[in-house]
């Protein structure tokens, strides 16, 4: 993975992340990097870029070097987060072929959706009823 493979851009949700190269289904696209902090510390210092690992640890993904923090939620995503339990790290993997120029997205999960997205309306572009 190289930083040149990605481009941060302004989107309807603030920022988004585009890929500048193609990916195959199952490829590790980008890692969700950051300092591991305890869930307790995460509760005391909440920010938008926390990734729950397990019952004890959370990744604080707020550093700008963590490109994965720019990936938006989608209800029809092209990536998914995978928890590598041996290293306790998160990789964002392609769940289908992704072409250069596409925005990268993953499903943030039900809890996050209900709490942070639904009240404002989801902007992922897959809600034709709006």
Quick one: tokens of 61?
């993904």
Quick one: tokens of 50?
């926390």
Shortest distance, position 111 Cβ to Zn ion, whole Å: 15
Dihedral-angle region of residue 76 (phi above 0 means left; psi in -120 to 50 means alpha; beta otherwise): beta
Contact region for Zn ion (CB under 5 A) — 18-26, 32-40, 70-78, 89-97? 70-78
Give which of 121, 118, 85, 90 is closest to 106, Cα–Cα. 90
Contact region for Zn ion (CB under 5 A) — 58-66, 68-76, 81-89, 99-107? 68-76
Pairing verdict, β 57-60 and 72-73 = unpaired
* Residue 13 sits in the site that holds Zn ion (CB under 5 A): no
The length of the chain is: 130
Shortest distance, position 6 Cβ to Zn ion, whole Å: 22
Which runs of consecutive H residues, i.e. helices, occur in the chain?
39-44, 110-112
* Among 28, 41, 82, 124, interactor with Zn ion by CB under 5 A: 124
Considering the complex, state which of residue 58 and residue 73 has its C-beta at the smaller distance from Zn ion. 73
Binding mask 103-122 for Zn ion (x = CB under 5 A): -------------------x
> Site residues (CB under 5 A) for Zn ion?
75, 122, 124
């Amino acid at each position: 993975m190289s930083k040149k493979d990605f481009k941060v851009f302004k989107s309807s949700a603030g920022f988004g992340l585009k890929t500048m190269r193609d990916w195959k289904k199952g490829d590790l696209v980008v890692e969700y990097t950051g300092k591991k902090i305890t869930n307790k510390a995460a509760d005391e210092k909440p920010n938008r870029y926390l990734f729950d690992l397990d019952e004890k640890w959370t990744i604080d993904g707020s550093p700008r070097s963590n490109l994965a923090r720019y990936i938006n939620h989608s209800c029809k995503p092209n990536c998914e987060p995978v928890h590598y339990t041996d290293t306790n790290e998160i990789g964002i993997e392609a769940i289908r072929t992704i072409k250069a120029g596409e925005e990268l997205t993953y499903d943030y999960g039900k809890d996050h959706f209900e709490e942070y997205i639904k009240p404002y309306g989801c902007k992922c572009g897959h809600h034709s009823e709006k």
